[in-house]
Structure 1
Amino acid sequence: MPSVFTKNGLHFFFYSNDHAPLHVHLCKGGGEAFFEIAPRVWLWESADMTTADISSGAGACPRASPPYHREMA
């Protein structure tokens, strides 16, 4: 899994063959969250993460710029 970055113990990553919509995963201490990042950042799903970690992760999520997704020709 390609890593985007790590901040405050939160590990941000993505799967290169993952599905749309554009999103990132983050994990910490066995918990995981999934944030959609285009056209805005919002929590899609989480499991076993504290509210503080989710909030911190949302604030640190990368923001996507248009075009959000391009089909490969």
Structure 2
Amino acid sequence: MLEKLSARLTEALLRRGAAEESKRELFEYGFQITLSTLLWLATITVIGLVFFDWRFLLCYLLFYLPVRQFAGGYH
């Protein structure tokens, strides 16, 4: 699903002339990473809100997420 959406977004950039054809794979990869991260954040937020525990959600996003990104635990 993310691959198809990434390909469509890249195709839209190419049609508008905002990107070069030689960098297609780079843009598709960038879109996949961005969409995957946004989906992950949305899922974490929904879970936190469903269980009405916004304090732990906020602590997780503010403190744990940055550590995971730079410590090699964010995949």
Q: Point out the structure with the larger helix share.
A: 2
Is the pair's TM-score, using the shorter chain for normalization, greater than 0.5?
Answer: no
Q: Point out the structure with the larger strand share.
A: 1
TM-score category (smaller protein)? under 0.3
